[in-house]
Chains A and B, each alone.
Chain A
Amino acid sequence: MLDRFESRLDGEFAEVDRARLLERLAAALPPHRLIATPESMRPYETDGLAAYRSLPAAVALPADADEAGAVLRACRELGVPVVARGAGTGLSGGALPFPGCVLLALGKLNRILEIDPLARTARVQPGVRNLAISEAAKPYGLFYAPDPSSQLACSIGGNVAENAGGVHCLKYGLTVHNIVKLEALTIEGERLTIGSDALDAPGFDLLALLTGSEGLLAVVTEITVRLLPIPADVKTLLVAFPDARCAAQAVADIIAAGVIPAGLEMMDALALRAAERFAHAGYPEDADAILICECDGHAGDAGAELERLADICRAAGASLIRLAKDEAERTRMWAGRKGAFPAMGRLAPDYYCIDGTIPRRRLPDVLEGIAELSRVHGLAVANVFHAGDGNLHPLILYDAQAPGQLERAETLGGAILELCVEVGGTITGEHGVGREKINQMCVQFSEAELTAFAAIKAAFDPAGLLNPGKAIPTLARCAEFGAMHVHHGETRFADLPRF
């Protein structure tokens, strides 16, 4: 099971006396910011992937970068692994602690340090919530573009670590496109400034390397984000299709026609019905799929773009095209989409969210492939996704109390990800590999590629103490996983010993 750290497969660490560790941490932090009893550590035992749970040796809550550095130095000296944590909304078990490790929770570093309206930047600490940045920038007519659906809760530090996306990243880019500078700590507790206040920096592009590195290379302690002017006008369209294939075709046609909407989201029949009952968003329940299309910009241009978009959808066979007539209706249209995850709670006790990306043109085939896999594994799957970027979020419905269902959900999820890789896509578009997809990494990457990743990690963290067992699998793990797994008819990692 992936919720257990296995030294054989994930890496060996020396046994450290817990009393000694706590003593060292007590020298780095005041008592109320060092948590070590099982009851008080309980809130930290899992992230957004609640199926995996485990308690660390201690939870450290530094209040600034100096304290965080002191914790890191102590861990480095004792050889204790460190798992950074933001808000714990991650969906891949990236912030899942393991027994014996120190969980470095950055929630107390939660200050917006500066907003510079002329430079259009905000300098913030990692524990600041994503949405709080846009709220603080609003009086200046500016906003922070990447808007994950979890933006009310997730931290900007977690966004950097995952390279988070959002419903508007088709037009405005991912986290990596919207940050300019980081302050980070190495495992030695040494401060690094990455990127700059200019548009580039000398040397290698470490800003790009650190973004999405899931806490394996360094701990981010300060972020300068780029802010954008709030668009003059926003227009939103709800489009229904009698056949999901037509909706998928419309998505490809829109992009091919040179239209880059601010957002282009799709929901299939199961998802849209659940969302409608949950949020009363006004979705037609008899549709096979809906698209939510948003255009923004100069008032005249957003309207014209929306017209072109509507024409393309009509030609692709849309059965209903409705323009939100005011802000209230617009908010309602989005409420259904944004509430799609909680809405699943009405369909089944549990759901498991998958996060593959595929080339857009393969959408119809992949949707059919998922339906087929869903039949084979006997679990329903609802699809809610960022169609414009081909980023799928199949939601597998199951009941954790029913024996065997969680395992079946995991097998089905793995099969869907492998389908994504097969059609030229990837196992994760925005949620990260974390713990959850560590085995699928062996499918997407070769032994040489994984060795290169490990070498890059070692260049930052030679003892492998930052978030071990996550994101980059060891070759031993791949050898074991490969034994059960045949890729394109060939056994991968065939020359490595099996355990």
Chain B
Amino acid sequence: MPTSLASEPRATGDIAAALSESIRRAAAERAALAITGGDTKAFYGRSTDGEPLSIAGHRGIVAYDPSELVVVARAGTPLAEVETALAANGQQLAFEPPRLGPASTLGGVVASGLSGPRRPFAGAVRDCVLGATILDGHGRQLRFGGQVFKNVAGFDLFRLMAGALGVLGVILEVSIRLAPAPRREAALALETPSADARRKLAELMRRPVPLSGAFHDGRQLHLRLSGGEAGVEAISRELGGESEDLAFWDAVRDLRHPALAGDGPLWRLSLPQSAPIPPVGEALAWDWAGALVWMRSDLAPEQIWRGAGAAGGHATLFRGASGGAEVFQPLAPAMLALHQRLKAALDPAGVLNPGRLYGAL
């Protein structure tokens, strides 16, 4: 029998009305709001000044029925609370978001759109968002999508919220598609240099292998396998290498791997998996089977963006931005203009996290 939790909104934990009122007031005064959840990702994106609007108080799992493979929760619900509930039923968030502190909220996970090492194999945050209730820049409550996997009514504005950093709306509640925890997992490390490892992976992934992680720390290639017993056993045997603790992947997921340590500026390059790494800095490590490169660089941001763009990808100054500088790869003028029109469509007064994504948004 499904262990469905209360589907009625709980008396506590619902502060939607107050949040709506704050936005309405801000819109009337054209006063910027800085949306925060657990404030664990303040380093990410540009800084935005504005009156803080905390959604942390809007919390609680609203519905969870394991047989539906869906959890519905308010945006302020701690990620840890959600993951604990899922684990108790042998389910998980397929996109494996980084856990950047106990205060981290589900809303922040969706708004930042950051996905973990499973991303190339199991999908991104946006792939798993089935619906969202948001407050737009007028403070109006809008519900898009729903709780079912297949739903093509209306534009997918719920997916658009993933990675938009709150610029298009305040996420109040989200429904997320879940995955069953794999029956078997294994981790192994291989002494393969970076360039060889990239080639080897591209070949390997042409076959149906149960990969769920492929990370290179500059020295070793680390692989994780997840799936049925037979497939995981067979491919582990074939690949050889040293078996290692699965906990290694927690460090990769939570960006705690020593290769990424330090407070200096850290660049994130998102590239086609088979592209060579552009020579715009020192590659510290790569994840996503080669499609995500962590880099340190003394070059000017423009040079890094140009290099990443020429390789068919883009670059983000992930950590260590200063002042009002841009951190995301600049958009072409026509594309930026379209972004501005989309922002104006949902937040005409421009009060929701202005400048957090781009200075001109």
Contact = CB atoms under 8 A, between A and B. Distances in A.
Interface of A: 116-120, 140-142, 162-163, 165, 169-170, 173-174, 176-177, 190, 192, 196-206, 208-209, 211-213, 217, 228-232, 252-253, 255-256, 258-260, 297-302, 304-305, 357-361, 386, 389-391, 424-433, 437, 441, 444-446, 448-449, 452-453, 455-460, 471-472
B312 A198 contact: yes
Given A199-B288, A212-B155, A300-B230, A141 B148 contact: no
Given A258-B90, A472-B154, A304 B229 contact: yes
Given A141-B207, A391-B150, A455-B346, A198 B157 contact: no
Contacts of B65: 359, 361
Contacts of B160: 204-206, 208-209
B314 interface: yes
Contacts of A449: 142-144, 154
Interface string B318-355: 00000000001111001100110110111000000000
Interface stretch (B35-43, B74-82, B116-124): B116-124
Nearest to B149: A389
Contacts of B164: 204-205
Contacts, number: 258
B151 A428 contact: yes
B272 A119 contact: yes
A131 B296 CA distance: 44
A232 B231 CA distance: 10
Contacts of B288: 199
Contacts of B334: 190, 192
B124 A200 contact: yes
A199 B270 contact: yes
Nearest to A227: B206
Given A163-B152, A229-B208, A205 B140 contact: no
A456 B342 contact: yes
B344 to A, nearest CB: 7
Most buried by B among A118, A304, A391: A118
B271 interface: yes
Contacts of B119: 199
Contacts of A252: 2, 67
24 contacts: A119-B272, A141-B206, A163-B156, A169-B149, A170-B149, A199-B119, A199-B291, A201-B270, A203-B357, A204-B339, A209-B156, A253-B67, A258-B183, A260-B180, A302-B228, A426-B146, A430-B150, A433-B153, A441-B153, A444-B153, A448-B141, A449-B142, A455-B345, A456-B157
Interface of B: 2, 65-70, 90-91, 113, 119-120, 123-124, 126-127, 136, 140-144, 146-157, 159-160, 162-164, 168, 179-181, 183, 202-203, 205-210, 227-231, 234, 270-275, 288, 291-292, 312-314, 316, 328-331, 334-335, 338-339, 341-342, 344-346, 357-358
B98 to A, nearest CB: 15
A229 B205 contact: yes
A231 B271 contact: no
Nearest to B163: A205
Contact of B345 (A174, A391, A456): A456
A201 B309 CA distance: 10
Nearest to A391: B150
A300 B228 contact: yes
B150 A169 contact: yes
Given A192-B335, A203-B339, A432-B152, A120 B230 contact: no
B338 A459 contact: yes
Contacts of A299: 230
A209 B69 contact: no
A429 B151 contact: yes
B146 A424 contact: yes
B352 to A, nearest CB: 13
Contacts of B202: 118-119
A159 to B, nearest CB: 11
A357 B123 contact: no
A457 B345 CA distance: 9
Nearest to B143: A449
A195 to B, nearest CB: 11
A204 B148 contact: no
Contacts of B231: 297-298, 300-301
Contacts of A472: 154-155
Contacts of A259: 180
Contact of B313 (A176, A196, A455, A460): A196
Given A119-B274, A452-B142, A452-B345, A198 B291 contact: yes
Given A200-B270, A361-B67, A297 B2 contact: no
Given A196-B312, A199-B270, A255 B69 contact: yes
A441 B154 contact: yes
Contact of B123 (A177, A390, A458): A177
Most chain B beta carbons < 10 A, residue from A203, A389, A425, A456:
A203
B153 A204 contact: no
Contact of A198 (B68, B90, B152, B313): B313
Given A361-B2, A459-B344, A208 B210 contact: no
Contact of B228 (A206, A298, A390, A428): A298
Given A201-B314, A205-B113, A209-B156, 5 more contacts: A174-B149, A192-B335, A206-B338, A301-B227, A301-B228
Contacts of B316: 202
B150 A390 contact: yes
A481 B163 CA distance: 36
Nearest to B288: A199
A20 to B, nearest CB: 29
A435 B205 CA distance: 42
B338 A460 contact: yes
B335 A203 contact: yes
A441 B270 CA distance: 38
B156 A211 contact: yes
Contacts of B155: 209, 212-213, 217, 453, 456-457, 472
Contacts of B209: 229
B313 A426 contact: no
A383 B229 CA distance: 36
A211 B160 CA distance: 11
A202 B148 contact: no
Contacts of A208: 126, 156, 159-160, 162
B67 A360 contact: yes
Nearest to A231: B208
B335 A205 contact: no
Contacts of B162: 205, 208
A170 B69 CA distance: 11
A101 B128 CA distance: 37
A297 B231 CA distance: 8
A256 B205 CA distance: 29
A177 B357 contact: no
B228 A389 contact: no
Q: What 10 pairs between A and B have smallest CB-CB spacing? A: A300-B230, A301-B228, A298-B231, A258-B180, A455-B345, A208-B159, A256-B67, A429-B150, A459-B341, A198-B313
Contacts of A432: 152
A446 B228 CA distance: 44
A389 B150 CA distance: 7
Contacts of A471: 154
Nearest to B313: A198
A456 B156 CA distance: 11
B153 A256 contact: no
